[in-house]
A = this chain, B = another copy of it.
Amino acid sequence: MSERVDVEQHRADVAELLAELADRPTEEVSIHRGVLGRVLARDVTAPVPLPRFRNSQMDGFAVRAADVAPAGPGAPVTLPVVGDVAAAPGEPAPLEPGTAVRIMTGAPVPDGADTVVPVEDTDHVTFNGVHDDSSAASAKVEVVRGREPGEFVREPGSDVAEGAVVLRAGTVLAPHHVAAAAACGLTRLTVRAPVSVAVVSTGSELVAPDGEPGPGQVWDANGPALAAAVRAAGGRVGLRLSVPDDPEIVRMGLERAAALCDVVLTTGGVSQGAYEVVKDALPEITFRSVAMQPGGPQGLGRVAGTPVLAFPGNPVSAQVSFVVFLRDILRQAGGLPPVEGVPAVLDAAVTSPDGKRQLLRGSWVGDAAAGARVAVVGGPGSHLVASMAAADVLIDVPAAATTLDEGAEVATWPL
């Protein structure tokens, strides 16, 4: 008879087995491709100050503050406009005292100028479509409001100083982080390498989903589903195999998987039948019965030094096992937060076997939110893979509960 443990004990044992995954290597990604959702491995410092150079915050006139200080309503100060500075390559000439240059947002503020008068505080109103009017006869500006030194001037480093941290280690990269990296001229970022997982389906009855099953054969749902689950949890599928119920072939496959990947995940061959090939092939790992339904038969241990989790082969059991035992570990190893459970209220009473934690498939009744109602979909059968597709969550029925009434509060695991 195999060892019996509860769900929390098995979760703890899996976490201990996989603790080594927390120490991830790093890799570089381009900000242009595949960067979203990746997790920064270390702080990113600004290689330059931002802004890099003193520039104008407004469309207006760069002047010396002292020259326009007296300006006020009814007492304009008029200055000659001696030039035009656009946001464009090049360095403007220094500004002579008592003069102004027309300047555009983002353009470098000339040496000698220490403030910018916005166009709306002058007699120009708007520049739109008015190119080069600084060279025309009208090359003067009336300023109607005085300015302090520094107004509407963006100083170098006022956004971020050179060498200061602009993106923190652990950041889950989103578009606004890409913006900051690009603004600093950084096109490659160092992120945590995803955990590489081998997904190994066992069972002589399995046919690839694009194959043609004969009598007694079924399409392999676990391989594609767990590969997708690994990716959804931020992992990488390092190898996918489907192997028949032959312990030697399984052993060879698993040793290859162990050599290539950080974790090996198997499905099938862990139950009480006569042909439990994973049990036969891996005498060195622990097989046990976890007090849960579905997903009771579980294995864990190491093959050739690499952690192995052996999930049952029923497709619902395999998916529930992934959610309960591996999903958050993969996410956290990659730097992602765990998936938060959502408390919910049962839409109808449920019954449950005593002493087994049951994970029913549930769907939201109305909008998903903490405290929302959740209804059971499909039956408890662990082969109901199509029914499971209609589920939004797993409903967590405690081991001690044999019935839960309508309106009972339950924990859920989002799918």
Contact = CB atoms under 8 A, between A and B. Distances in A.
A20 interface: no
A349 interface: no
A258 B382 CA distance: 51
A384 B272 CA distance: 63
Q: Among A31, A174, A228, A383, which residue has the most Cβ atoms of chain B within 10 A? A: A228
Given A183-B385, A209-B186, A228 B160 contact: no
B59 A271 contact: yes
B228 A31 contact: yes
A130 B279 CA distance: 12
Interface in A264-319: 271-276, 279-280, 313-315, 319
Interface string A382-410: 01111111110000000000000000000
B225 A1 contact: no
Given A91-B215, A127-B273, A383-B51, A35 B104 contact: no
A217 B87 CA distance: 8
A183 B322 CA distance: 17
A267 to B, nearest CB: 11
B274 A131 contact: yes
Given A106-B313, A216-B89, A319 B176 contact: yes
B179 A225 contact: yes
A201 to B, nearest CB: 10
A203 interface: yes
A160 B50 contact: no
Contacts of A87: 203-205, 216, 245, 275
Contacts of A107: 205, 216
B385 A216 contact: no
Given A88-B245, A214-B89, A271 B180 contact: no
A230 B140 CA distance: 45
A42 to B, nearest CB: 15
Given A36-B228, A52-B213, A57-B383, A102 B183 contact: no
A126 interface: yes
A31 B386 contact: no
Given A89-B204, A167-B389, A387-B159, A415 B176 contact: yes
B271 A130 contact: no
Interface string A214-257: 11111111111111110110000000000001000000000000
A345 interface: no
A184 interface: yes
Nearest to A51: B383
B225 A176 contact: yes
Interface in A338-385: 378, 381, 383-385
A53 B216 CA distance: 8
A129 interface: yes
Given A216-B90, A272-B128, A179 B209 contact: no
A105 interface: yes
A187 to B, nearest CB: 5
Nearest to A312: B105
7 contacts: A106-B313, A108-B215, A108-B216, A127-B274, A175-B232, A179-B385, A182-B209
Given A87-B203, A179-B225, A187-B210, 10 more contacts: A31-B224, A88-B204, A89-B216, A104-B275, A108-B215, A159-B378, A174-B232, A181-B209, A185-B210, A185-B211
